[in-house]
Structure 1
């Protein structure tokens, strides 16, 4: 049995592809009809700036790239590098907008808890969950639930505990753990949870508080073009995570379907930022963001002698 196990490990080992040298990778691209118009630039880029697989991930955006044959049809290597740089510059610009939205959402949710409301969480270290201790709000002189408890217990109690538990040494959290027996109010907890947990917390609001949070606008099924939605928020969250982990956002398909259509992570995030900025800040970013992106494209074209326009990142090719 032991010998059979060793043979199996050896067979598994030899199925793994060995790493190629940078020269081999460039040679492979040439055989697939990518024009290496600047060998030195491409070599140094793969060696020092970004990985081979990251750069070649942009090939799906090229006009004549053939997926079935994996053939670049004489596109230039500088085009791939330009798309990579374009992605990075747009990502930095959009990250600033996602941060503004995230911070505003935290503030909006914290301020949703008025003087007559009380929402607190009790850390249960035995079961590794966060229990709802207090959960009420005053609406038209009537006491109502602030958070829908069934939804909270199903999707958030474990996640919220994990987020808060990671920040036990933060002065505010430490104070409530020591002085209040681990009972933490929502307006404190909101500062120490992730963006994903924040969205789940919004999902857990009762109808009356969600209506207040959205100022009467629908959250799950928007009826207007510029009305922000839950899908918008999840798209912004995905965009921010991809940017934070240096992943491609151009040409990558979002898992969220809008009116029966798939969109790229970039484009759906871009539109979603416009929707939520309009709602949160009364600021229509549709034209200003488009202008900033066009300026980035123009700068990149000048630097790499390429001829891209906004259509290269719109929605024509996603994978």
Structure 2
């Protein structure tokens, strides 16, 4: 056991009032101390202060630049929170659609339980690991999902792909698709999304990760994407694949025309509400961001 002298020095906890004072000591303008304290009672100092990273003075450690304020930091926090909620709704639609597409095509081309045959996949070890994970998900869902219990009772726990797919996550779908044989991947990508399968592999990986960030209240503002998506050359000339706009663009691409119009409308309203506080470079939005999304939507059938 390490002696006390060997333990790293951890800062002592601070009260909400002390946290406000700490912001002030670092040159952050506090418009209303009581309001700031109430916000910090609801939003952890450590979480909220991350939205002020772009306000930090590069020359003076731990100090904020002139004009930085608590209210602006809160505004960015609220913008990010609402952007996550908007993306969650759209990504749910995409995930459910992809579940439908992959289960339908596998069922008709491989048979109801062909997904359990290693010959239909690229990597045998990865396929085996996927089946172990899937069986675990099915078992865990037995008590909460009536359709799962039904298959255990009536079919001795044998699950056709259209039933098994319903207990999976977006991340599982992304990895499962990546391991499918190339003919199947090409077919699904072409029939439903009209793109080469290499793009679908990349996009699913990016969007499943963004979905997890949103679901676990992670930060999108002023952060790079964990998985940078593959972009077509004409798109890569318009915007970077490092920031959240790239994921937003792909989200729009994978929505139907009607879903896409609603998504653009809601996003535009959100941006308009917070545009005075947003630094668009920190979310990767090009100046013509809306035009690009609308052009993309018009190209859909």
Which bin holds the TM-score, normalised by the shorter protein?
Answer: 0.7 to 0.9
Partner of 2:197: 219
Partner of 2:292: none
Map 1:1-319; keep pairs closer than 5 Å.
Answer: 5=1, 8=2, 10-11=4-5, 15-48=9-42, 50-62=43-55, 65-66=57-58, 69-74=61-66, 75-115=68-108, 117-120=110-113, 133=116, 146-148=120-122, 150=124, 152-153=126-127, 155-169=129-143, 170-215=145-190, 217-220=195-198, 222=199, 229-258=200-229, 263-264=242-243, 266-277=244-255, 281-282=256-257, 285=260, 289=263, 292-300=266-274, 307-309=276-278, 311=280, 313-315=282-284
- Structure 2 distance, partners of 1:300, 1:116, is 48
Alpha-carbon spacing, 1:115–1:101, altered in 2? closer, same or farther (3 Å): closer
In the superposition, the TM-score normalised over structure 1's length comes to 0.74
- Structure 2 distance, partners of 1:152, 1:174, is 27
| Unmatched tracts of structure 2, length 5 or more | 231-235, 286-301
- Structure 2 distance, partners of 1:67, 1:238, is 34
Can you list the C-alpha shifts for 1:129-151, whole angstroms capped at 9, x where unaligned?
xxx6557xxxxxxxxx5444626
Q: Which moved more, 1:249-258 or 1:101-110?
A: 249-258
Bigger Rg, which one: 1
Cα deviation for residue 39 of structure 1 reads: 1.6
Can you list the C-alpha shifts for 1:235-254, whole angstroms capped at 9, x where unaligned?
21122111111121111221
Can you list the C-alpha shifts for 1:207-261, whole angstroms capped at 9, x where unaligned?
22112211263122x4xxxxxx322212211221111111211112212235796
Alpha-carbon spacing, 1:262–1:300, altered in 2? closer, same or farther (3 Å): closer
Can you list the C-alpha shifts for 1:277-313, whole angstroms capped at 9, x where unaligned?
2xxx25694x865553342233346xxxxx2356154
- Structure 2 distance, partners of 1:270, 1:19, is 38
Cα deviation for residue 175 of structure 1 reads: 2.8
Alpha-carbon spacing, 1:252–1:68, altered in 2? closer, same or farther (3 Å): farther
Cα deviation for residue 13 of structure 1 reads: 6.1
- Structure 2 distance, partners of 1:155, 1:133, is 11
| Unmatched tracts of structure 1, length 5 or more | 122-131, 136-144, 223-228, 302-306
Which structure is higher in helix share? 2
Tell me how large the CA RMSD over aligned residues is: 3.0
- Structure 2 distance, partners of 1:202, 1:31, is 52
